[in-house]
């Protein structure tokens, strides 16, 4: 049936979009020989696999990548330029999916700022959540519009931004509350919980981990990193440690649910909730296509705490493979894999831990952008402008923010100050690019891959004053006061490199090595389902998926 137009094919009853947070593109193949049947092997042996896929935008953070996959648009169009950005009108820091108009339904289940190991959560001023900051439609929105509102659309994740971004403006989202140990939602989606969610949460699903530990799946000698369980640069969280077994503690411990999310247990909770959702919401039961996004977050948290090349990351990937196999088996029984279109990708890749790079002879350094204002070159620049106060007020990745009130009071030209600061920053060791938003708005920029990736991330109303790109293997080590093993967020290939895998519903088995961008995923889904493209999408689709189908 190769070459048959996408709209002439039998439509799937369920579109299952899986996003694995921080799954670098090489990771499924690194441990492939020890995967079981039915997980990654099902996708690799039965689907169309893109082995050289990348995010084309510069800031490889969670909300940016998820929304790009959902919309088929770059951040310059969909608006989610960072996990947080400074709202110039209010002067307040904006967390991407925060919306005070729509508080969470569960009283006392919002963000606990004392126990979240996630700096973006700590910037939220309320527990309200919605997709209102996403400026364009998602594929799931277009599916809903195409089907006259009859499609069922859901997003599930440990992270609120992982669920909300994929469910779009018309679907419904559930995410895990570390504060209450439940899956929650906001008043944007429901006035009250469906009964099945109440019943599921009432079972206290986290209790099965009480007093238990994250144990190795196999004998330590069988692991690539079996002899590297105790490395000084790994994060030793209180009670969790940096060696196996990693105890979860008891529910009374305020870090109990947080520790679950930085282990395979977090993905297992998402898997169990997703299975309950499929069954109770009767997804894929009729000819109207339904949509479910499942975003697995453990790979990201484990990567931050221990690094990509760690025993913990290796065991987590092996356990993720089992979770995928269990999910596919469940979907096959409930819907049928032949009637399910699966697409798996990642919101971003991830670097090797600087400590690991150093062990192997690489030069890896840490940079503190918050100290830039005290550097000699910037001090001299402030003297030149007659400034005796702080000029660089803050850094929220990937943007530096200048003291605009001070610049205005001194009757200085904002563009001139931005340019002068950028020029000085370019001389700093470890800085690859410092470019102001004013410069990005001009037409006089060199046409380089790095500049193009920054432009794809630029939104005039949300981007900060100066975009910073550090040189490869230069990292920020402060994760909201916590020293972690590794952080992502750069445009370099280790952070942009992700898998793209389509399978099920007659997709042909083939591996493709040509370079593709993640913005191609959503328009490919739209063309397969016969919907119009998401409103911000201007990308070519993945022709191998469209033109080759058994």
Phi then psi dihedrals of residue 75, to 5 deg: -55, -30
SS3 state at 211: coil
Question: Tokens standing for 51?
Answer: 């082995």
How far apart CA 62 and CA 297 sit, in angstroms, is: 10
User: What's the CA gap between 215 and 285, in Å, rounded?
Assistant: 38
- Are 234 and 284 within 8 A, CB to CB? no
**Mean pLDDT of successive 10-residue segments in the chain (550 residues)?**
50 98 98 97 98 98 98 98 90 94 84 56 82 98 98 98 98 97 98 98 97 98 96 94 97 94 98 98 98 98 97 98 98 98 98 97 94 96 95 96 95 96 97 96 92 97 97 81 86 98 96 98 98 97 83
Which residue's entry shows tokens 């400034």? 387
% helix, strand, coil for the chain, step of 5: 35, 20, 45
Read off the pTM. Answer: 0.96
User: Are 342 and 504 contacting, i.e. CB atoms less than 8 angstroms apart?
Assistant: yes
SS3 110: coil
pLDDT of 415: 95
Scan for tokens 């048959």, then name that residue: 4
DSSP states of 433-473 as a string? EEEEHHHHTSS-----HHHHHHHTT--TTT--SEEEEEPTT
Strand partners, 402: 392
Three-state DSSP class for 16? strand
**Residue 195: φ, ψ to 5°:** -60, -35
Coil, strand or helix at 354: helix
Q: If you ran DSSP here, which 8-state letter would residue 227 be given?
A: T
The Cα–Cα gap between 143 and 139 comes to 6
The domains found in the chain, sorted by start residue, are 6-71+105-209+252-355+491-514 (3.40.720.10), 368-429+431-470 (3.30.1360.150)
**Looking at residue 497, what is its pLDDT?**
98
pLDDT of residue 10: 85
Q: Cα(222)–Cα(73) distance, rounded to whole angstroms? A: 42
Which pLDDT does position 88 carry in this prediction? 77
DSSP string, 151-169: S-EEEEESSHHHHHHHHTT
What whole-number distance in Å separates Cα of residue 316 and Cα of residue 271? 14
Residue ranges of the alpha helices (H) in 147-255?
A: 160-167, 195-202
């Amino acid at each position: 049936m190769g070459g048959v137009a996408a709209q002439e094919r039998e439509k799937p009853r369920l579109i299952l979009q899986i996003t694995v947070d921080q799954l670098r593109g090489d990771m499924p193949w690194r441990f492939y020989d020890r995967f079981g049947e039915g997980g990654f092997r099902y996708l690799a042996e039965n689907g169309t696999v893109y082995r050289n896929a990348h995010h084309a935008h510069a800031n490889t953070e969670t909300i940016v990548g998820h929304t790009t996959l959902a919309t088929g648009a770059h951040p310059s169009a969909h608006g989610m330029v960072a996990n947080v950005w400074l709202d110039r009108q209010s002067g307040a820091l904006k967390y991407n999916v925060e919306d005070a108009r729509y508080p969470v339904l569960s009283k006392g289940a919002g963000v606990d700022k004392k126990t979240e190991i996630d700096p973006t959560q700590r910037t939220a001023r309320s527990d309200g959540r919605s997709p209102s900051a996403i400026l364009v439609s998602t594929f799931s929105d277009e599916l809903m519009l195409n089907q006259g509102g009859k499609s069922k659309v859901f997003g599930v994740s440990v992270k609120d931004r992982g669920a909300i971004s994929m469910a779009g403006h018309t679907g419904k989202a559930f995410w895990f509350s570390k504060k209450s140990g439940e899956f929650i939602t906001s008043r944007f989606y429901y006035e009250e919980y469906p009964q099945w969610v109440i019943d599921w949460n009432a079972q206290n699903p986290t209790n099965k981990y009480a007093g238990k530990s994250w144990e190795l799946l196999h004998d330590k000698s069988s692991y690539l990193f079996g002899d590297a369980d105790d490395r000084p640069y790994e994060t030793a969280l209180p009670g969790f440690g940096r060696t196996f077994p990693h105890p979860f503690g008891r529910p009374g411990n305020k870090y109990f649910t947080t520790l679950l999310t930085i282990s395979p247990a977090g993905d297992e909770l998402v898997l169990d909730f997703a299975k309950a959702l499929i069954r109770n919401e009767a997804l894929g039961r009729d000819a109207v296509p339904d949509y479910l996004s499942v975003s697995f977050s453990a790979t990201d948290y484990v990567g931050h705490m221990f690094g990509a090349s760690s025993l913990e990351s290796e065991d987590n990937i092996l356990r993720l493979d089992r979770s995928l196999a269990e999910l596919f088996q469940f979907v096959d029984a409930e819907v049928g894999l032949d009637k399910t279109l699966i697409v798996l990708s990642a919101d971003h890749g991830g670097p090797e831990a600087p400590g690991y790079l150093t062990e192997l002879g690489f030069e890896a350094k840490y940079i503190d952008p918050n100290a830039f204002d005290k550097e000699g070159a910037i001090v001299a620049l402030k003297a030149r402008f007659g400034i005796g106060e702080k000029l660089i007020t803050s850094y929220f990745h990937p943007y530096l923010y200048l003291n605009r009130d001070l610049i205005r009071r001194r009757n200085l030209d904002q563009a001139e100050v931005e340019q002068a600061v950028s020029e000085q920053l370019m001389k700093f060791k470890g800085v690859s690019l410092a470019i102001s938003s004013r410069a990005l708005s001009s037409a006089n920029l060199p046409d380089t891959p790095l500049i193009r990736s920054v432009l794809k991330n630029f939104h005039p109303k949300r981007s900060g004053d100066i975009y910073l790109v550090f040189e490869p293997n230069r990292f920020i080590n402060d994760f909201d006061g916590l020293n972690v093993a590794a952080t992502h967020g750069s445009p370099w290939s280790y952070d942009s490199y992700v898998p793209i895998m389509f399978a099920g519903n007659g997709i042909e088995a083939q591996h493709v090595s040509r370079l593709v961008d993640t913005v191609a995923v959503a328009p490919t889904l739209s063309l397969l389902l016969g919907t119009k493209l998401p409103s911000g999408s201007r990308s070519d689709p993945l022709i191998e998926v469209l033109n080759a189908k058994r």
